[in-house]
Amino acid sequence: MTALLERAPRGDAPSPPAERFRPDIQGLRAIAVGSVVLYHAGIGAVSGGYIGVDVFFVISGFLITSHLLREILATGGLGFGRFYARRARRILPAAFVVIALTLVGAVLFAPPTQLPSTLRDAIATSLYVPNMLFAHRATDYLAQGQAPSFYQHFWSLGVEEQFYLLWPLLLVVAFVLLRRSRARLAVAMGAVALASFAACVVVTGTDEPTAFFWLPTRAWEFALGGLVALALAGPRRLPRPLAISLAALGLVGLVIAIFGYDGQTRFPGTAAALPVVGTALLILGGTQSGPIGRALSVRPMVFVGEISYALYLVHWPVFTLAQAARGADHPLPLITRLGLLALCVPAAYLLGRLVENPVRRSRRLAGLPAWGTLVGALAVSGVVIAFAATTVSVRGRTSLAADRLAAAPTLGLNPAGTSYVPKNVTPALLDVADDNPATYSDGCHLAPGFKDIPSGCTFGANAAAPLVVLWGDSHAAEWFPALAALADAGTIRLESDTKSGCPSADLDVDYKSSTGPQSYPDCPLWRQNVLRHLADVRPALVIMSNYNHPDLPRGGYPSAGQWGSAISRTLARIPSGVHALVVGETPLASTTPADCLSAHLNHTSSCDLKRSAALVPAMLAAERSAAHAGAATYLDVGPYLCNATTCPAIIGNVEVYRDNQHLTATIAASFSPLFARQLKLVLG
């Protein structure tokens, strides 16, 4: 392939574009990083500031494609090793410093329960795949009720690094196979952009975290920047009035997105087109001097643009570590956030001055063989990973329990809770996140975006026992341990039909997300198929349970009246002769109680949930009324988890919550006697 590239350009191949400094690009970088940083600082006016990352992607696609075209056209070839070595010197030194310092900060300030996940995040970041980890974890980037990863902002760097790995090869292959034709190359790049954009729209509708974090659904943003680079590679220049008009349109698009988008905007999807196209137009129109180009080129904008990469790296761990030090239940005041933001600027300047620029501009490092730089980068990755593992291991030896035991809990009303973390606490604080129902690991509980048919999973060997179907979202699945014990005892045969985010209540809102209602097309079909299945198998009892917190962090559900109507519609469609039991909602916390417990081993009362916030009386009342109107039985579990004022985080020696909204499988199993009594009352 190199030999083919060594022949002189012919046909309609573009001429090598002249390299020149674009101060307006630095101004665009300033807009990008400024919007992201202000958004993360909680400045309400910048409600769509997260689109700054998309601006960065377009700029990266434009600059990298410009450099690649320049080398290909000037030399007839492309030194892949040199290219990757330059990228490594440009982005990795500052990134590795921030990774290491963030880990130190996490050890000092974060709850110990967060350290194992922090270690995994640090390792994934050091291996350049944090975006894949966060997509796999189904992280909700815009979530307000979860403790985010200290490395979450590195997802965009992971996407860029993966783009840098693939794009040069794709560009060279296309350039050679298409006989150096600018028109054909533009068509090829356009095809990549269109295919990626289509994937982005489709996947956003079914699996938003994947669409947000994956390169295949983000590649179109880089590719559009590449198309701009290809357009500007030719000798022709845009007429000045047209260039100014395009820049103005682009700026309007960015302003609308930054100040008009918010947490209810489905993103990326089609919404990402506005800031992405707007950035492309600003770059395209910035080749001519105009009022917008001059505004972007003023010294303050250029300065912020010059430190934008370092500022992006440092701002997120500064905010999140400060929040961890204060406690997740106590949001940082605005004045504190603004003060931290002010501190980020000199920190970014120093990171650039002392780390980023010296390495990037070092003649000695530039003179090394490309393989030497790449091997060095891998070696540093290994050192950072070893440092992370050692640091977390040393910190992990600290006991996460008080030096006292507690008795096993007895299910009863108005539990008082345990005021300390018992030495025999179960599950252990570091294991609580994995204390899931067995249906999570055996394939019976369905994840979003997959099967739309009932799981068909049945438990219990007593063929003569009545069939009971557990139906609903993950808040139904959390009762599986209690019912599975009855199935094991031969009291019932149990079928589990649960699906994350998919309520058995007949709702138009399909997928609960902090970004608002998400398209979840397999959910209504799944609900319909379960109803058909119930008509076929005619169980003795259907147990329904669902998430129903409308005004808390994972909001997006309707009012109490609408919720009651949705329950009623489902009950009306349950086959005649089949009894129904509606189980009330469990408490919801603003953050994961285990994080708080790990920092208050001898004083856990501050980690208990306030009942008034953890349960929504109007929604519970709507459920109860709908159940009674539909001739169903209603079971309110709240009194067994809460007393008059609080919902304890620990009852006896058992930790109650595995995250901010689900019970541990251990505490759920203790409800087996209560369900046994209810079954006896309903079925006789």
Q: Calculate mean pLDDT across residues 51-70.
A: 95
Establish if 84 belongs to a structural domain: yes
More confident residue, 656 or 176: 656
Separation in Å, CA 229 to CA 61, 172, 343? 8, 15, 36
Which pLDDT belongs to residue 523? Answer: 81
| β-strand pairing of 579-583 with 541-545 | parallel
Q: Report residue 663: phi and psi, to 5°.
A: -75, 155
Establish if 665 belongs to a structural domain: no
- Exposed e or buried b for every residue in 85-117, given b needs 16+ CB within 10 A? bbbbbebbbbbbbbbbbbbebbbebbbbbbbeb
Q: Report residue 465: phi and psi, to 5°.
A: -75, 150
Which pLDDT belongs to residue 517? Answer: 42
Q: Calculate mean pLDDT across residues 571-600.
A: 93
- The domain total for the chain is 2
Domain match, 562 and 480 both = yes
Residue 14 has pLDDT above 60, yes or no: no
Q: DSSP state, 356?
A: I
d(CA 646, CA 648): 6
Confidence band of 69 (pLDDT split at 50, 70, 90) = confident
Asked if 522 contacts 449 with a C-beta cutoff of 8 angstroms, the reply is: yes
Domain match, 633 and 499 both = yes
Mark residue 472 as left, alpha or beta (left: phi above 0; alpha: psi -120 to 50; beta: remaining).
left
Which pLDDT belongs to residue 447? Answer: 79
Q: What is the largest CA-CA distance in the chain?
A: 89
Q: Calculate mean pLDDT across residues 16-34.
A: 83
Q: Which of 358-372, 466-480, 586-600 has the highest mean pLDDT?
A: 466-480
d(CA 155, CA 130): 5
Q: Range of 510's domain?
A: 437-589+616-640+672-683
Establish if 36 belongs to a structural domain: yes
Residue 486 has pLDDT above 70, yes or no: yes
Which pLDDT belongs to residue 445? Answer: 92
What CATH code is carried by the domain that includes residue 567?
3.40.50
Q: What percent of the chain has pLDDT over 70?
A: 91
Confidence band of 146 (pLDDT split at 50, 70, 90) = low
Q: What percent of the chain has pLDDT over 90?
A: 65
3-state secondary structure of 515: coil
Domain match, 353 and 450 both = no
Which pLDDT belongs to residue 9? Answer: 35
Residue 509 has pLDDT above 90, yes or no: no
Establish if 477 belongs to a structural domain: yes
Residue 329 has pLDDT above 80, yes or no: no
> Which pLDDT tens digit goes with each residue over 510-562?
444 433 344 456 788 899 999 999 999 999 999 999 998 875 434 456 789 98
- Quote the distance between the C-alpha of residue 97 and its chain's center: 24
Residue 17 has pLDDT above 60, yes or no: no
First-to-final CA distance of the chain: 79
> Which pLDDT tens digit goes with each residue over 88-112?
888 999 999 999 999 999 989 998 8
Domain match, 457 and 532 both = yes
Domain match, 576 and 502 both = yes
Separation in Å, CA 320 to CA 4, 147, 328, 472, 592? 51, 8, 9, 34, 15
Domain match, 390 and 443 both = no
Establish if 411 belongs to a structural domain: no
- What is the number of alpha carbons within 13 Å of residue 391 lying toward its C-beta? 23
Closest among 145, 261, 148 to 549, alpha carbons compared? 145
Domain match, 294 and 370 both = yes
Q: Calculate mean pLDDT across residues 179-190.
A: 85
> Which pLDDT tens digit goes with each residue over 290-300?
899 999 999 99
Residue 15 has pLDDT above 50, yes or no: no
H/E run at residue 106: helix 80-109
Domain match, 356 and 454 both = no
Which pLDDT belongs to residue 198? Answer: 97
| β-strand pairing of 609-610 with 646-647 | antiparallel
Domain match, 324 and 469 both = no
Q: Which of 105-114, 143-152, 344-353, 583-592 has the lowest mean pLDDT?
A: 143-152
Residue 248 has pLDDT above 90, yes or no: yes
> Which pLDDT tens digit goes with each residue over 435-479?
999 999 888 998 776 667 887 799 999 999 999 999 999 999 999
Which pLDDT belongs to residue 76? Answer: 62
Mean pLDDT, all residues of the chain: 88
3-state secondary structure of 542: strand
Domain's final residue, options 394, 420, 455:
394
Establish if 11 belongs to a structural domain: yes
Domain's final residue, options 394, 411, 426:
394
Establish if 42 belongs to a structural domain: yes
Which pLDDT belongs to residue 384? Answer: 85
Domain match, 484 and 374 both = no
Domain match, 497 and 571 both = yes
Which pLDDT belongs to residue 180? Answer: 73
Domain match, 261 and 385 both = yes
Domain's final residue, options 337, 367, 394:
394
Establish if 408 belongs to a structural domain: no
